[in-house]
Amino acid sequence: MIRPPDLARLTLAAACWGLGTVISKRAVAEIPPLTLLAIQLAVSLAVLALLMRLRGVSVRAEAPALLGRLGVLNPGAAYALSLLGLATISASVSVTLWAIEPLLIVLLAGWLLHEQVSRRLILLTIAAVGGMIAVAYDPSGAGTIIGVGLTLAGVGCCAVYSVIARRWLPEAESTTQVVFVQQAYALGFALVVALAVLLLGGGALRVTPSLTAAASAVGSGALYYAGAYWFYLGALRNVPASRAVVSFYLIPIVGVASSIILLGERLQPWQWLGVAIVVGATLATVGRPELAASASGAGLDGLPSRRHEDELADPL
């Protein structure tokens, strides 16, 4: 059974990702995607630096170097690829493709971390993915081979990141430090890519957004990167990757609810059915501790430090 504090962190991470996506829609209408990625990461780093300073936490991570460099993979390369893919495919196709990420994480966790993944968990994961596809389905959606390929590459980056982070995260002293260093690497990656696009004539940095778009960029950066990643990594220290993945099933639910409230969007009957399937599969997964065993085979038992426990008692 996932402990209540970790379940709360996973739920908050899903809420930040879902709401942050909706807010990003307003920003991306005026700001080029690669430029928006750099802005969001810069805002996230500023928020994290302030909070760490207020709590007396050093920005220098006492963790394996590989853990910090994972930021180049995700959110760096993963979301750069996703945004590039989104330029040639519809949003509905993009979200549908991202729906396979939880299943990839479950399979990779079983293969690389030797986490015991039961048949029931796999079936519930497939059911949840099917529900997410129903939520995102758009009969008018269309895509291209290049766009689909770039998006799937981004999905693969995120899945590999989640599994590798689970393997190395217990060795870190502070989750906040890990998030900060990873996003610093991601920001450097995003700036290099944006500059390259600018030099090639893409005009990625030439933007004059409205106040609303600028505020949306700032807000989405604080939610999507600072909040979501901090909460998710905080839970991942104590929860096997194959169980932490259940939080991803809630992201489209939060996103749909937020879009209805903030953007005035409406759901079709099959989308409401998808919502019900996702919620049901999530509750079934969280409520059955035997669906996925702890990662004892990977040597990850009992690793959260006292400093980390104190830090999580006062999140952010």
Lowest mean pLDDT among 209-218, 270-279, 292-301: 292-301
Q: Residue 286 in contact with residue 246, Cβ under 8 Å?
A: yes
3-state secondary structure of 238: coil
9-28 pLDDT, tens digit each: 999 998 998 888 888 878 87
Sign of the Cα torsion 117, 289, 230, 165 reads negative
Q: Is pLDDT above 90 for 235?
A: no
What confidence tens digit (pLDDT) does each residue in 119-141 have?
Answer: 887 787 788 778 777 776 666 65
66 within 8 A of 212, measured Cβ to Cβ: no
C-alpha to C-alpha distance for 67 and 184, rounded to whole angstroms: 12
Q: What is the per-residue DSSP string for 263-302?
A: I-----HHHHHHHHHHHHHHHHHHT-GGGB--SGGGT-TT
With 60 as the cut, is the pLDDT of residue 206 above it? no
Give the pLDDT confidence score for residue 205 in this predicted structure. 57
Structure confidence at residue 298 (pLDDT):
32
Q: Which of 30-44, 98-112, 122-136, 224-238 has the highest mean pLDDT?
A: 30-44
Residue 299 predicted with pLDDT over 60: no
More confidently predicted of 226 and 307: 226
Angle at 256 between CA 255 and CA 262, to 5 degrees: 85
Q: Which of 71-85, 93-107, 202-216, 231-245 has the highest mean pLDDT?
A: 71-85
Query: Six-digit token pair at 155?
Result: 């999905």
Can you give the pLDDT at residue 184?
94
Pair of tokens at residue 41: 């990461």
What's the confidence (pLDDT) of residue 244? 77
Mean pLDDT of 268-294: 67
| Per-residue pLDDT, 271 | 75
The predicted-structure confidence for 142-165, as pLDDT tens digits, reads as follows 556 787 788 889 989 998 988 888
Q: How many CB atoms lie within 10 A of CB 139?
A: 6
pLDDT of residue 100: 74
Band of the pLDDT at 292, cuts 50, 70, 90? very low
Higher-pLDDT residue of 294 and 146 is 146
Q: Compare 69 and 298 and report the one with higher pLDDT.
A: 69
Average pLDDT (49-60) is 83
| Dist. CA 278–CA 104, nearest whole Å | 17
- Look at 188-192, 278-282, 303-307 and tell me which has the smallest mean pLDDT: 303-307
The two three-digit tokens of residue 62, written as one number: 């006492």
